Amino acid sequence: MGNFRNRINENKNQILYMSISMSTKRNRSFSSSRVAFYALTLSMLTACGGQSGKMGDDEFTVQEVVSTSSNQVTKYPATIKGLQDIEIRPQVSGFIVKLCVDEGATVHKGQALFQIDPTQYQAAFDQAKAGVESAKANLKTVTETEANKKMLHEQKIISDFEYQTAVNNLLTAKANLAQAEASYTAAKQNLGFCTVTSPSDGVIGTFPYRIGALVSASISEPLTTVSQIGDMYVYFSLTEKELLALTKAGGTLKEQLEKMPEVQLELSDGSIYAEKGKIDAVSGVIDQTTGSVSMRATFPNKQNILRSGGMANVIFPYTMENVLLVPQSATVDIQDKKFVYVLQPDSTVKYTEIQISNLNDGKNYIVLDGLKSGDKIAVEGVTRLNDGMKITPITAAQKEAKYQQALKDQREGNIASAFN
């Protein structure tokens, strides 16, 4: 082996000497050719040394496994609702003659949405208004008659019966006026109901009924829905066990809700909603069929990105204490099992199975069994390792130092030492 390495070193020196001699004889215009030759020389040196991109064939980076805390997230399917989803229904019967807004429009409280044919209600209003005027005129006449009868009765000119009749007529006229005014109020209200308005600020839903449709207060489907979406409610469920883990610290439910971390929202396209939400309500009853409890988080919706009825995932963060983390790149997968190479006292590695949690941050696995704090595992080049193989363990810092030294040697032209 020693003779073989000596020959390799002699070949390196000869190639280096040839490359330098040839470069001095060439003209500067052939600089690109010289660069290409250097690249070829470097590749030949690498092939002769058998390094395969490593600082040494038997050098492998190892890392000590230590107990630490890990920030994890859990996703829960969620449903998005507006603060209010108000069904809009007509209060009078008739044909729709006008759509005042379009589907999906943003509306304000009191804004007209639909116009129902007001012809019959306008006629009823006019009739009620005339009835009030008639009742007022009749009351005025009866009032004057009663005053005249009273004067005659005091002078003993008419009988008690005749005067009492005049009094009764006055009472009847007053009642007729009150009845006429009530009819007028109802007719006016019905006429107003012909214009269907929005009860609050929000966004309009779809229109199942359009111009020409006959609608009434008894229709099965509402004219539309107005959703308040300035802030949005997002509903999701936790298991009873998960809820207990969050609230068992003590204190009132309100205090526990205030301590809960802010949550994020993953939209249906996989993007993360820019605003964070706060959990502000928990159902007081556990669903017996699912064993879960409903939670509600409130998210601001200033840009109107969230819409009522949408689906999303609530991302709930939490911290796991005293866990062992291993890089995912340090594991080997065989038949749905995870293995790592654990460094032994004699510098050999042992092929070891580990049990991992189903939670991970995309870079590290949480080890449940198979390792203990203080163990050292190979974290790079694991595909070239075998059980019982003897290695030269180096730390990540040592590897980086060697790499930087090699780069320095290359920049300074020390090609022979750059790959030693």
Task: Summarize pLDDT for 369-404 with one digit per residue, the tens.
Answer: 999 999 999 998 899 999 999 999 998 888 888 878
Question: Which one is predicted more confidently, 69 or 90?
Answer: 90
CB 378 within 8 A of CB 61: yes
CA angle 51, 52, 53 (to 5 degrees): 90
User: Has residue 346 got a pLDDT over 70?
Assistant: yes
Mean pLDDT over residues 135-164, rounded?
Answer: 93
Q: Is the pLDDT of residue 17 over 90?
A: no
> Does the pLDDT of residue 344 top 70, yes or no?
yes
Distance of CA 240 to the CA centre of its chain: 23
pLDDT value of position 251 = 63
Find the mean pLDDT for residues 320-344: 90
**Cβ atoms of residues 166 and 146 within 8 Å:** yes
pLDDT for residue 25 is more than 50? no
Q: Tell me which H or E stretch contains 157.
A: none
pLDDT tens track for 205-264: 999 999 999 999 999 999 999 988 889 999 999 888 877 766 665 667 677 778 788 999
**% of the chain with per-residue pLDDT over 90:** 55
Buried b (16+ CB within 10 A) or exposed e, 249-265: eeeeeeebbeebeebbb
Average model confidence (pLDDT) across the chain: 83
161-191 pLDDT, tens per residue? 999 999 999 999 999 999 999 999 999 999 9
Residues present in the chain in total: 420
Q: What is the DSSP string of 347-366?
A: SBEEEEEEEEEEEE-SSEEE
Phi-psi sector, 85: left (phi>0), alpha (psi -120 to 50), beta? beta
pLDDT greater than 50 at residue 46: no
- pLDDT bucket at 45, cuts 50 / 70 / 90: very low
Phi, then psi, of 198 in degrees rounded to 5: -80, 130
What pLDDT, on a 0 to 100 scale, did the predictor assign at position 408? Answer: 80
In this structure, what token pair is assigned to residue 188? 């006016």
Helix (H) or strand (E) holding 369: strand 364-369
In 3D space, the residue among 64, 123, 74, 18 whose CA is nearest the CA of residue 263 turns out to be: 74
Mean pLDDT of all residues in 151-161: 92
For residue 20, pLDDT beyond 70: no
What is the C-alpha separation between 199 and 274, in angstroms, rounded?
30
Q: What CA–CA distance (Å, rounded) separates 393 from 61?
A: 6
Q: Is residue 56 pLDDT above 80, yes or no? A: no
% pLDDT > 70, the chain: 83
With a cut of 80, say whether residue 204 has pLDDT above it: yes
- Above 50 in pLDDT, residue 7? no
Q: 306 and 233 in contact (C-beta within 8 Å)?
A: no
Query: What is the distance between the alpha carbons of residues 175 and 181, in angstroms, rounded to a whole number?
Result: 10
Whether the per-residue pLDDT at 9 is higher than 70: the answer is no
Tell me the C-alpha distance between 332 and 383, whole Å.
Answer: 8
Cα separations in angstroms, 194 against 121, 127, 128? 8, 17, 17
Q: Rounded CA gap, 397 and 394, in Å?
A: 8
| pLDDT for 240 | 82
